[in-house]
Structures are given as structure tokens and as C-alpha cells.
Structure 1
Amino acid sequence: MQDLAGKTAFITGGASGIGLGIAKAALGYGMNVVIADIRDDHLAEGEAELGGGDRVLALKLDVTDREAYARAADAAEAKFGKLHLLVNNAGVAVVGPTELATFQDWDWVMNVNLGGVINGVVTVLPRILAHGEGGHIVNTSSMSGMVPVGGTTIYSTAKAAVLTMMECMRPELEARGVICSAFCPGAVQSNIAQASETRPDELAESGYAEADKRRQSGGDHFHLYMTKEEVGERVLEGVLNDELYILTHAEFLDGVSDRAKAMVASVPAKRPQNEGYKQTFAMLFNSPIWADEIARQEKLKA
């Protein structure tokens, strides 16, 4: 996927925020772009901002609706032919104490942030494999999936699952020409605080109602966040470099390091190893993707 010109990107949550930033960058690299989004107003505004003419297709899509997802993929292929880059970016968020979370809070966030990603992979991956030209899948996780903190249990659980999905799919699909990347941004200027406006009525019972209102009406920190354009360019850079983890913010270095160190410190290294177990199930104890990524990043930074 180093040659992006003329290929097609399918981006969910693509009409605003991070998704729109990725769409802008993809257009800049000569790609055709499908922006799929649940909000009509965002689709109209996003399509106008992109100004890509026939190279842009705007589609209304609820990523939790599997039949609608298939229809959207059909429409994209009818317009542009083959799909090459899938960006599973649509997401929602609620925060608050775990004990206040209702089943509806869990179901809404997991249905979109994890279920929507699953629907994207199941719907689009076979289409990428079928055309044989190779491709790339980017799952928008979050630094909350890598450095989780209290009060974000539902959101971080979904984002950690999305990250692990890419770690599992990477070694399976890379040899078949499909690269998988976990995109883990820090704070970005986006509309995720407005996500509750699209929450389904049947999942409206929230234990986080007051916490969510406080979050939406909190101080304006947008000046501290990355722009969607900066983040979009970073994602396309990661795609061109075949990066496993596409990160944006150096401020998380200590957290990433300390988490890794805590895991290493927790391994019961003094316990004797069962050599039979170790040899029989060698594939369980390590993955080549980490050594490969270390070598890739060292080369990029050289």
C-alpha cells in the first residue's frame, strides 16, 4: 500500500473530526474516499469541506447495522470499484464511575466502538482479499486502550479490544498482503463529546447522564488538542510505513513505558519453566509482530 493514488479508502465516522482529517489526507495522496457517517448534517458539511468532487462518496451509515454496512460497501464498490483502505473510526464515549454504568451504557459503547469495528472487518476484509491487490485496515483505538485510567472503564475496554484485534490480525494477514494497524490517538479536536445525540432510544437509560453532561459542558481545551488535519496526516504516514501502532502524542511515553515495565515485573520469572509445555505451545509465548515493529521503528527513526 505504498502506492495510494487511485486506490479507495472507506472511512467510518468519516464526516467530522478524526475521520474527516483522515479523509482529507487520503485525498491528498490521490485516493478515492468514502466517508460513512451516521449524521446527515456532518455528511453534508464534511463533503463540502473535502471538495473532492467525484473522488468523494458520502454515505449515511450506522456501523451497528450489519445489513446497512454491506449495502454501503456495495455502493462504494459500485462507485469506485475495489476497496483498499478500511478505517474503522466511528466511535462514541461515556465516562464515569463503573458502579453507575447501566447495561445500556455498556451496550451502546460496545456496540459502536467494538461491534462497529467487527462489522467493518467482516464486511470489508473478504472484499479486499478477493481482489488480490493488497490493502490496509486501520482500527481507531485510543491511548485509553494502551494507557487506561479510572473513570473510563467502558470506553477503554472497547478500545483495548480494538487494539488487540489488530495485534492478532497482523501476523495472520500480512503475508496475504493486508497490513493491520492500531491507531491510538491522544486528544484530538473532534465531535465525540456530541456522540450522545445519536444514542439509540432503546439504550437511553444511562447511569452516566449527569457525568456525561458535565463532560460536554466542561472547560474548552480544544487549543490543547491536535487538529484533525495533523492527525489525518499521521494516519496516512503510518499506513505508508506499515506501522503496527500509529501513535500521535509523545506525552504518553512514561505511561506506555511504565505499563510495559509493570507487566515485565509481574512475570514470575523465578518459577521453573516446563520445557515440554514451552516447546509444544511455543506459538503462544511470543509474536513476531513486536520484534518486527521494533526494527521498523528503529529504521524510521535512524
Structure 2
Amino acid sequence: NAGMKVMIGDIEKGALDAAVAELKLKGHEAEGVVVDVADRDSVFAAADATIKAFGKVHVLCNNAGIGVSGKSEKCSLENWQWVMDVNLWGVIYGLQAFVPLIESHGEGGHVMSTASMAGMVSFRYMGPYNATKFAVVTIMETMMEEHREDNLGVSVLCPGVVATNIASGTRNRQGRYGGPREARDLEANTEMLGKGLDPDIVGEQVLEAILDDQPYIFTDPSMRKFIDKRFQRLSAGYDWADNCKALKKDKRAS
């Protein structure tokens, strides 16, 4: 509704076609491309398709993500690899494929990557997911510093619970990671996500943040307390270091 031409990338062709058709039905100019964000060549091919369709890129939204649950040390290496490749490498490939296209025309633009509140606070039984989302946050923070003086805006989205179908993401699990499988605790997770924030509201918030050049995008102000508690624990770590016997042997401390 902001007047932009939209290229949607998705690994699931049926969902992709439906989304593009919905936008076109509303009178918007939109196209779609099937893309596996865990595959570098697929992402770069999507970038080429975008240029072929629209000629330029001004805004990139890295939004694909999946998750698994379980204790970190018991999570299979296959699960770790899958989550890392989609959530982390997918973002890296997206940045490398699309940011040069934004910079090439000199008209400015914006890059937004979806992390999570799990990129700010570590939640139990979500080790692979937490690790990737913390990584996405720091990559985007690094880019904020690297592009502070130019006309490329950078934002990171850290949503709370949003009503999406991420809980059933294993239906699109690629063959090299063991193929599709039934998600654990699907019913409970689907019920929880169903009570989450409307994705359309999140989309409107992201648009507002891009227009305001807002670096951090939080969807649930009530979760601020988790960040406050984390920094209290970090501060307590420094309090302990102040009285650490080993550090008192450091002659530089004087």
C-alpha cells in the first residue's frame, strides 16, 4: 500500500503464488520467485530475477526463518546445520546479493533483517534459533555502523510472538537436511502463535520504521523487562569481576 513494486521470494511455490495473486488482485505490482535462502546460488538468482522484473532494488527484507526445539547439546548436528543455513546464511546471502544492487543506483535504500526477541534474550530449549538470531542482530548492528555516513538505512526486526506458520516450517525442510517431517509440539506451538500479533500490523510497523530510519524494531513493548533483566545479569557479572581474586593480581589494574 506504500506504492512500491514487490518481489516476493519463498521456498513454497503454492504459498508464493497465492501471495502474489492477492497483491495483484488489490492492484499492486508484484512478482514472485521460488528461492531457497540456504542456497547461495538460489538467492543470487532471485536477485537477478528482481532486476529483470523491476530494474532496480531499493528495499530488502530478509524474513525467512525456521526453528527447532530441544536441549542445545542434544540437538542433532543436522538440526543445527539446517537452522544455521536458513536463519544465518540466508541473511548473509541476501545481504551479499541485494545490497550491491541497492548501492548501484545511488538513490539510497534500506535493508531490514528479521531477528527475534531471541536475538536479545536467550530462551531455553532454543539453542540453534537463539544463536542465529543473536548473530543476525550483531550483523545488522555492524552494518548500522558501516553505513552510518551513507544513504543506506539499516534496521533489525526483533518481534515477539507473531501469528505466522513458523511452527510448521519443517514441512519445507530441504532434502539435504533430512527432508520434510512433522514438527514437534506442532499443535501447542500453533495455538500459541495463533494468539500472536497480526503480521499485517508488523508489516505496517516495519514500513513506519523504514520511513523513520529506526534501527531497532520491537513489536511487543511488554518484553522490555526481559532485556532489562539480561542487562542486570551482565552488570552483576562486572560486579563479580570487580572482586575477582585472579584479576586483583593484574598489575595493570593499579
TM-score by length of 1: 0.75
**Coordinate RMSD, CA, aligned:** 2.2
Q: What secondary structure does 2:133 align onto?
A: helix
Q: How does 1:201-216 map to 2 (within 5 A)?
A: 201-204=175-178, 212-214=183-185, 216=186
Cross-structure match for 2:145? 171
Aligned partner (choices 199, 202, 209) of residue 238 of structure 1: 209
Cross-structure match for 2:19? 46
What percentage of aligned pairs have identical amino acids?
A: 36
For 1:194, the aligned partner's letter is: S
Aligned partner (choices 211, 217, 221) of residue 192 of structure 2: 221
Aligned partner (choices 180, 184, 195) of residue 169 of structure 2: 195
Q: Which sits farther off after the overlay, 82-91 or 95-104?
A: 95-104
Q: What secondary structure does 2:20 align onto?
A: helix
Contact 1:102 1:205 in 2 (8 A): no
Where structure 1 has 5 or more consecutive residues not aligned to the other structure, the ranges are: 1-27, 277-302
Q: Which sits farther off after the overlay, 217-226 or 140-149?
A: 217-226
Task: Give aligned pairs, total.
Answer: 243
Cα distance in 1, alignment partners of residues 194 and 176 from structure 2: 36
Point out which structure has higher relative CO (alpha carbons under 8 A, 6+ apart).
Answer: 1
Q: How does 1:45-124 map to 2 (within 5 A)?
A: 45-50=18-23, 51-53=25-27, 55-124=29-98
Cα distance in 1, alignment partners of residues 219 and 28 from structure 2: 31
For 1:264, the aligned partner's letter is: S
Q: What secondary structure does 1:176 align onto?
A: coil
Cross-structure match for 1:266? 237
Cα distance in 1, alignment partners of residues 76 and 85 from structure 2: 14
Q: Which sits farther off after the overlay, 218-227 or 173-182?
A: 218-227
The CA deviation string for residues 10-46 of structure 1, in whole angstroms up to 9 with x for no partner, is: xxxxxxxxxxxxxxxxxx1111111100001101221
Q: What secondary structure does 1:31 align onto?
A: coil
Cα distance in 1, alignment partners of residues 194 and 10 from structure 2: 25
How far 1:49 moved relative to its partner?
A: 2.4
TM-score by length of 2: 0.89
Q: How does 1:125-204 map to 2 (within 5 A)?
A: 125-204=99-178
Q: What secondary structure does 1:111 align onto?
A: helix
Q: Which sits farther off after the overlay, 238-247 or 65-74?
A: 65-74
How far 1:175 moved relative to its partner?
A: 1.1
Contact 1:104 1:205 in 2 (8 A): no
Contact 1:140 1:184 in 2 (8 A): yes
